[in-house]
Amino acid sequence: RVIERRAQRDGFYIVRNLGGHGVGRHIHEEPHVANHARGADRFTLHEGLVLTIEPFLTMGPATALEGADGWTLRTSDGSIGAQFEHTFVVTGGPPLVLTH
């Protein structure tokens, strides 16, 4: 919810079909961490959980489309987009940020 509000306040849009995720034995695991509130799955944070927060912002209301190479993303409306990522561990106190 915080990511979505900040993006909207600054005139950007959230790409709703992408988001953060859990990290474990595989780089992309459950839970999915949505960057929007409406329709997002809820989950409980617990100590030891490793998550990424990945806001995907665009200049227009778009979804992300995967390129033929299976990696490159583009926006459905051709607008400029940007993605940022931080990975952290949930602890009994402040989170341990693994990326800076």
- Each residue's pLDDT, cut to its tens digit, for the chain (100 residues) gives 788 899 999 999 999 899 999 999 998 999 999 888 777 778 899 999 999 999 999 999 889 999 999 999 999 999 999 999 999 999 999 999 999 8
The whole-model pTM stands at: 0.79
DSSP string, 27-77: SSEEEEEESSSTTPPP----TT-EEEE--EEESSS--EEE-TTSS-EEETT
Q: Do the Cβ atoms of 66 and 72 come closer than 8 Å?
A: yes
Domains of the chain: 2-97 (3.90.230.10)
